[in-house]
Amino acid sequence: MWCVQVILVNDASPNEDLREPLERYVKLLPRKVLLVRTKKREGLMRARMIGAGMATGDVLFFQVRYDTIRDAISTCCQKLT
pLDDT number for residue 32: 79
Measured distance CA(9)–CA(44) in Å, rounded: 10
What is the chain's pLDDT, residue by residue, as a tens digit (81 residues)? 456 788 888 888 888 877 888 888 888 887 778 889 999 999 989 999 999 999 988 778 787 666 566 666 666 666 555
Q: Please list, in sequence order, all residues whose beta carbon lies within 8 angstroms of the beta carbon of residue 55, skipping any fewer than 6 positions away.
A: 5, 7
pTM as predicted: 0.70
